[in-house]
Structure 1
Amino acid sequence: MRNNLNSFFSLPSSIEPIDLSYWGVKQKVYVKRDDQIHNIVSGNKWRKLKYNLAHYNSNNFKGIVTFGGAHSNHILAASFIAEKCKIPLILVIRGEKPNELSPTLKTCVELGAKLWFISREEYRNKDSNSGFFSKQFPNYFIIPEGGANRYGIDGCRDIIKEITIDFQDIYCDVGTGATMIGIHRQLNKNQRVNGVVVLKGAEYLDKQIRELTSNNQSNGSFRLLHEYHFGGYAKNNQKLIEFMRVFYKITGIKTDPIYSAKLFYGMIEDLKSQQKSSVVVALHSGGLQGLEGFEKRYKVKVYE
């Protein structure tokens, strides 16, 4: 199965023109449809796990440990891949064990993953306590949250390699920053990646990403947009929900309230403020599987 895993995924993902004139956008905009790569391992998740999996297979690890929240797209993708490849998987989950598992966690368990809950404080300090997890799970390959390591970054370089049109700007949502860094490494001169940050109070990402891109052999540039987090990660915001509904009605493209809706809202607002004529690409990184848990948590129905 390890050798045939690529057959599960629709790659390269398509790139489609999108008309955003309803919002007053004058630039020529395309959408890179990474949301269509796979119904479970959608968006950038396979890209960030592909080379991590190759590293796992080239060594003698006993299994994989990785991290995420109760609605994480990454842990679901990891669970699917681990089940197909018969790899023991331990998921370190942020927060105390709930009375009822989220739909995402239920599916992870059904796919054979083992859950290990830690407090939010312990989770915040997990990177400084990496030695603890190595001791707790000896000879397991530890993949950071979101697949945000050098293997995950390398996988995201393929996004740009697949784009055959000439463009000046590409927009992506930013959680850990791995996708944005991978994109930046593949840019040409006069190209820029714009990251719409989905977390509140994540200005630390500016320094972190600047350090990680300082040694990039890239001719491109980057910037982070912090204004469009809508209250923070996975928060319920009626204005954003209404935007999602209108966006779907106008474009036929569904988004999620955690990542991609913020991306498209932020990109539209940013482009409206620019007078220059340019070609723009938006990376739709998937994440629609998290809708069920979001709707259940907030008792809201996004799409009828």
Structure 2
Amino acid sequence: MLLQPLPEAAAERAGVQLLLLRDDLTHPELPGNKWRKLKYNLQQARQQGHTTLLTFGGAYSNHIAAVAAAGRLTGLHTVGIIRGEELATRSLNPTLAQARADGMHLHFLDRATYRRKQEPEVLEALLQELGPAYVVPEGGSNAWALPGCAELVTELRTRQSFDYLCVACGTGGTLAGLATGLQGTEQAEGFAALKGADFLRTDINHLHQHSTGRLYPNWHLHTAYHGGGYARLTPELRQFLTDFHQRHGILLDPIYTGKMLLGVLDLLAQGYFRRGSTVVAVHTGGLQAWAGFGGAPG
């Protein structure tokens, strides 16, 4: 586990120690939270006798890429249900091309049906067509994802005391897992990557209730740093990512961690974090997403 100090003027003015946890370097092919969310799901799949994983995602999904790589590394077959039937007639983008190279069968679904993917009849029809499989939800967020993410807290505490743990949020599973690992001792701060993400608060509470039978008060979801919406890269965000890379030599992804760090620095400027505290921001990986934005800043 690598922790890097982030010397930022906003942190210095706020009297806060700011650190970046490089969870993107944890595994060469399964970086960051995606591996943590899959760890116990893979164990469950094996214990239930499944040889195939079936999951869902968009055309540039970090989760689709991670499940495909996990399948290759563990010997499990993988099926990816990809949002958007029109994609089936086009050349595959780098994310989907790599997923297919890793052995994933890609099944394209029209957007209207994809929105209904959690309905029992839709899922049953997919399993009838594609064969029996252990189903991992979009983004990997379910009750089995939480203990894997909670292990990050245990690992971090052996290295560093801290007061706040910040992470980007797509489906809320990582934030939910961190909150369970913290057990109320420190605060988890989540930064939603998608617009209109207030519903995630309900989803996170549901994950907590389903996983541990209780609710946790030690987390907060920030919804103002989505940058215009999921997978939107504004000129302002691109400039921030370029400047951050130049200052620290660290490349952030444009969908998740980049928005989270932008939010953390803004909250530091607002005095949100307690003076004298230590804030750890988690780099959860996802750098493959730059392929969809014309390449990463140099």
Using the size of structure 2 for normalisation, the TM-score is 0.90
Over residues 103-138 of structure 1, what are the superposed CA-to-partner deviations in whole Å (9 max), with x where a residue is unaligned?
000011111111000012211111123333333344
Q: Is the 8 A contact 2:143 2:207 kept in 1?
A: no
Kindly provide the amino acid, as one letter, of the partner of residue 102 in structure 1: N
Separation in 1, partners of 2:68, 2:292: 17
Amino acid at match of 2:150: R
**In structure 2, the residue corresponding to 1:61 is in which secondary structure?**
coil
Distance 1:70 1:25, change over 3 A: farther
Secondary structure in structure 1 of the residue aligned to 2:282: strand
State how 1:112-131 maps to structure 2 within 5 Å: 112-128=103-119, 129-131=122-124
Q: Aligned partners of 2:171, 2:80: CA distance in 1, in Å?
A: 17
CA contact (8 A) 1:52 1:152 kept: yes
1:293 aligns with: 292
Number of the residue aligned with 1:282: 281
**Identity within the alignment, %:** 33
Residue 131 of structure 1 aligns to which amino acid in structure 2? E
Query: Which residue number corresponds to residue 68 of structure 2?
Result: 79
Question: Alignment partner of 2:195: what SS?
Answer: coil
The equivalent of 2:170 in structure 1 is: 175
Task: Give the secondary-structure state (helix, strand or coil) at the position aligned to 1:163.
Answer: helix
Give the Cα separation in 1 of the matches to 2:51 and 2:32. Answer: 27
Does 2:133 match 1:145? no
* Whole-angstrom CA distance in 1 between matches of 2:285 and 2:138: 17
Residue 225 of structure 1 is aligned with which of 222, 227, 246?
Answer: 222
1:100 is aligned, of 87, 91, 103, to 91
1:148-182: CA deviations, max 9, x gaps?
11111111011101112221111100000000000
Summarize the alignment of residues 58-73 of structure 1 with structure 2, pairs less than 5 Å apart. 58-73=47-62
Q: Which amino acid aligns with 2:267?
A: D
Alignment equivalent of 1:206, drawn from 201, 205, 227: 201
Measured in 1, the distance between the counterparts of 2:36 and 2:221 equals 22
Deviations 1:174-195 (A, max 9, x none): 0000000000001144411111
Contact 1:170–1:281 (CA under 8 A) maintained in structure 2: yes
Which of 140-149 and 266-275 deviates more? 266-275
User: For the residues of structure 2 that align with 1:302 and 1:81, how far apart are their CA atoms?
Assistant: 25
Match of 1:14 among 2, 26, 36: 2
Aligned residue for 2:190? 195
User: What is the CA distance between 1:85 and its match in structure 2?
Assistant: 2.4
- Contact 2:10-2:268 at 8 Å conserved across structures: no
Change (3 A) 1:72 1:155: same
Aligned residues: 287
Letter in 2 for 1:303: P
1:16 Cα deviation after fit: 2.3
Shift of 1:84: 2.3
State how far apart, in whole Å, the 2-side matches of 1:243 and 1:162 are.
Answer: 30
User: What amino acid is aligned across from residue 212 of structure 1 in structure 2?
Assistant: L
Stretches of structure 1 lacking an aligned partner (at least 5 in a row): 1-12, 296-300
Q: 1:180 to 1:102 in 2, by over 3 A?
A: same
> Secondary structure at the residue paired with 1:146?
helix
| Equivalent pair of 2:208/2:216 in contact (CA under 8 Å) | no
SS at match of 1:233: coil
2:161 to 161, 166, 179: 166
Shift of 1:220: 5.4
Moved more, 108-117 or 77-86: 77-86
What's the CA shift string for 1:218-239, capped at 9, x where partnerless? Answer: 7651111110101111112100
* C-alpha separation in 2, matches of 1:32 and 1:216: 29
Change (3 A) 1:25 1:134: farther
Query: Is 1:237 matched with 2:230?
Result: no
Contact 2:173 2:207 in 1 (8 A): no
TM-score under structure 1 normalisation?
A: 0.88
User: CA–CA distance in 2 between the matches of 1:233 and 1:241?
Assistant: 14
How large is the RMSD of aligned CA atoms in angstroms? Answer: 1.9
- CA–CA distance in 2 between the matches of 1:211 and 1:57? 25
Contact 2:254 2:290 in 1 (8 A): yes
Q: CA deviation at 1:52?
A: 1.0
